[in-house]
Amino acid sequence: MADPAQPLSDIESPCIGTCTLGPDDLCVGCFRTRREIGAWLSYSAEQRRAIMQALPARAQQLFDDG
């Protein structure tokens, strides 16, 4: 059984603390969807990595369309 007092391992996150949803339900700070933000801690490292790789294109789309 895991010790509940043990700190969580560091999980990479693109969050910059802006937390404002813009067009297409994307956060204008980190470019994740509402669903991705809410489920981030439950995603596997591979799922988070795939999302992180998609973020630059989302940022470009958000700012090109806006």
Total structural domains within the chain: 1
Residue 15 within a domain:
no
Nearest to 64 by CA among 19, 26, 15, 17: 26
Tokens standing for residue 45: 């490292």
Residues 23/60, Cβ–Cβ less than 8 Å = no
Q: Residue 52 belongs to what domain range?
A: 23-65
What pTM was computed for the model? 0.77
For the chain, the average pLDDT equals 86
Tokens standing for residue 59: 């940022």
Confidence band, pLDDT 50/70/90 cuts, at residue 5: low
Residues 29/16, Cβ–Cβ less than 8 Å = yes
Tokens standing for residue 1: 């059984």
